[in-house]
Structures are given as C-alpha cells and as structure tokens.
Chain A
C-alpha cells in the first residue's frame, strides 16, 4: 500500500486546527501581500511591466541569497536587490524601447549571482529552496513587522498618487501637458514596485512573484474596466490566492507556491471565460451599424 502511504504523507488535514496558530503570521502576511499585490498589479499590467517584475524579483533573489551567505538579514538583502533593480530599470529604461533589453540583461545576471551565493552557502537546504519557491512557516515577528509596515507604506503612497499615476500610465503625453510630473511618478512607482517585490519574494518566492503581481490584475481587467471595481476585484483574487494557498499548503507537504499560482491561474481562466463573452458582444454591437 505504498501509494496510499505516500498520499497520506502528502495530504493530511487531521491536525489542522492545531496547525493553524503556527501559521497565524503567515496568514497576516498573506493578507497584506494580497492587498498590495492586487493594487500594484493594476499598474503592472496598465504599464505593461510584467517582464520588469520578473527581472526585479530575480535581483531580489540575488540580494536575499547574498544576505543568507553573509549571515545578515535576508529581508534587507531582498530589499536591496529589488530596489537596485527597480531603480536601474526605472532610470535606464524610461523609454520603453530599451526597457525590455535592460531587463533581459539584468535578469540572468541576478539569477546567476543568486545561484552562486546559494552554492557557496552551506546552511539548511530549505532556506535555499524557499527563496525561489516560497515558504510559509519562516515568517517570524520581525519580518512580519517589516512586511506589514512596507505594505502600509505602499498602500498609502498608491492612494496618494493613484489618479495622476494612472493618467501618466495611459497617456503620458497628455499627462505631461496637464502638468503631471510623469518622470517623477514613474520612479515613485518603480520604488513601490521594488518594495512590493521584496516582501513578496519572502513568501511566494522569486520565481512566482508574477502570480501575485500580474495574474490577479490581468484576470480582473477581463471582467471589468471600472476604475473602482477592477482594482477591488484584483485585490479580491490576490487575497483568495494568497490565503487559500496558505490554508491548503498547511495540510500538505507541498510548498505554498503551487497553490497560489494555481488558484490565481484558475481565477484568470474563469475571468477570461466570463470576460471573453462580453468582449465579443461589444465587438458585435460596434460592428452592427456598418453597411450591410
């Protein structure tokens, strides 16, 4: 009965109630990440930045693994890595034309650095793997404090700059003519993005940050383009993916990230199915007045 045994090892919800308090920190972290991830994601897709997010998370991974090797704070390391990457991309790649190639150059460099640091590190293997694919039990009170503070700052900054940032994202030329400081806002957003990636890497891992910073918003825009409902739906999907992912991962031996990515992917599929129909209807109604 080896298959049975293996399955039982993998999925075990017997002591679920007893396990819950152990992940209380993770649930708080997951809620905060769902909120900021869903909100930041709105601009990630509006500015077409998913590739930048991936690049930033690889450098965040390099920073975190460098910190692991040096024995300093992994949180600080991932912040340094992602802020450096975000500012480089923001500063060098203001013009979208060279932006992608800059990211394409930075990303393998960051990943290579991270792998170098990890292979030099001889501590627990779980630490290494966690940086790439995420972990839920590793959140102590200090890192939770950092995560919640960063999330609060990100939410406040976004609330202040939301409208001009959206204007600058959609129509920079017009925004500039209306006196919006387009360049400054871009750097502010890249800093916000860097901070969000840094705290996300802690929980969902460097490879899967996009499931939190891109998928929920990309799903939400399929269903609604209301400036109010779309961000709220994006946050809802991100929360569902994070909290659902943590609660499911608790009962199993599988890391959190496959759950988060699968839930957000299923939400995306669902939103495409719902939204695809409305898009077709809209097209049809536009096409109607044309001469027969």
Chain B
C-alpha cells in the first residue's frame, strides 16, 4: 500500500491537562478533498498546524507522504484565513507568489528569479493580470487568489486551507473552491479544507471530518451530515435538513454554546493556544 498523503494514527493533542482531541485516526489519499467542520475551538486549525509541523502531537503519529512533518515543508501548501494585507509594502502580485518559493530564504529580493513557475501558477488561478499589481491595493478576493497561487507554487502534494472563505463574498468563495478543486483533480493534491460552512465546498467534498469537543466523525457527507450522527456528536438534538443540494444544520450553534457554558474544557473561556481563533 502506498503512503497516504496525510495520515494521523491514534493522535492526541493537548495543552497542559486540557485535551483538544485524542485517538484521532485520519487517512487522506492523494487527490482527496476533506472538509473539516466543527464549532470554534474544536481544534480544526490546530490539526492543520500539526500537519504543518508547527505544533507537536502530544501522542500518536502524524505522517505527510509517509514522513513526519517539519516546519517549512515545501510539499505542503497552506492557505490561511483571509486577513487583508493593507500594508505599504514593495510587493506586487508576482513577488508575493514568489515568496512561496524563496520567502523563507535569507538574502535580498530577487524578483523574477522564478518567473516561469510564478507565471504558471498565476495562470492556474487565473490571476495573471494581478502579477504587477501592488498586493496592498488588491481586493480581498484577489488577495486570497494570490494566497492560493502562493500555496501552489511549490507544487505541493498536500494543500491545507484554514477557513480561506471567511470574509469573502459568495462569488469569491466559489472561485477559491473551484481553484482548489481543479488543482486536486489535475495534480492529485490532497486537500484538508477547514470551513464553517459545508455548502460552498459540498460539491467538491469527498470526506467530512467533523470535530466536536474532542470527539470526531469521519466519512462521506452522506454518512456524517445526518441528524442521528451529529446529535450523538453534540450530545444534543441536531437536525440536518437537505434542500436543493444544500445542507442545513439546525441546533448546532446553540448546542455548541450551551456545551461550552457547562463544560470547563471549553476553549472559548481560555486564550487559544495558537493565539488565534
């Protein structure tokens, strides 16, 4: 059996005495699109940070293409939550994308050193016209498209997306999902896509990983996005309604917040270990 793109075996992540999740077994094959769902503080972003090698597991194993993760791994692409760079920095679209290749290396800027690779990836995300635009002046959707390009420029075999759709309008959400979906179909890139909302990614999703206060369920959307499965996960009545190809989850938010009120492991009352939500 060939190595999985990402594999976690009996993985546990805790901060001090507080366990974020444990006994997590996940296997993602090349080309699979996995949507990671769950309420705030259930450890979705931390899962990505473990795969990136930024957080060590408390116990268990994690392997990326058969090897333990390490910081700055170029076989992993990463698209973070959209936070606009409204900065006055001397960077244009192409320079920003090139940072995916050499941004971590010491030394002076060398624009156009990787001209071909950068042009190629900008074409993939249909953003060639942004190559010479100052990054600080682009719209949120354009900046996010450049982030996708930057994540793809190292030709990664795994793509990690941490709520990349947040604060984007519906049209730009669709564009980002289409780009990621196209990438994994054409290049066999495995995708871990953390999101609040399943509907924008539903058409692309192979598997859902639903995380909730240390527990989790993994399976196809039809296996996981069901009233009985989610009710069990939340220990509260959850109703899942399907209408016109959309999935509506009723009761999850109140269940999650009441859960947090009674449960002292709740993360919302403590500083997030990674410094952000």
Contact = CB atoms under 8 A, between A and B. Distances in A.
Interface stretch (A82-90, A119-127, A226-234): A226-234
Interface stretch (A2-10, A43-51, A101-109): A43-51
Interface stretch (B20-28, B85-93, B174-182): B85-93
Interface residues of B, number: 37
Given A163-B105, A178-B103, A221-B88, A170 B54 contact: no
Interface stretch (A133-141, A154-162, A189-197, A245-253): A154-162
A177 B106 contact: no
B214 interface: no
A271 interface: no
Interface in A37-60: 42, 45-48
Contacts, number: 117
B50 to A, nearest CB: 12
A279 B81 CA distance: 27
Given A169-B87, A226-B92, A163 B137 contact: no
A217 B88 CA distance: 9
A176 B54 contact: yes
Q: Is the interface of A mostly helix, strand, loop or mixed?
A: helix
A225 B111 CA distance: 12
Interface stretch (B7-15, B94-102, B116-124): B94-102
Determine the interface band of chain A, counting residues with CB < 8 A from chain B: 35 or more
A160 B107 contact: yes
B52 A177 contact: yes
B219 to A, nearest CB: 28
A163 B103 contact: yes
Interface of B: 52, 54, 70-73, 78, 80-81, 83, 85, 87-92, 95-96, 99-100, 102-109, 111, 133-137, 147, 150
Q: Which 8 A-B pairs have the closest CB atoms?
A: A179-B72, A230-B90, A167-B103, A179-B71, A227-B109, A225-B134, A46-B89, A177-B78
8 contacts: A160-B106, A163-B105, A166-B91, A170-B135, A173-B80, A179-B73, A221-B88, A227-B95
Interface of A: 42, 45-48, 159-164, 166-167, 169-171, 173-180, 217-218, 220-221, 224-231, 279, 282
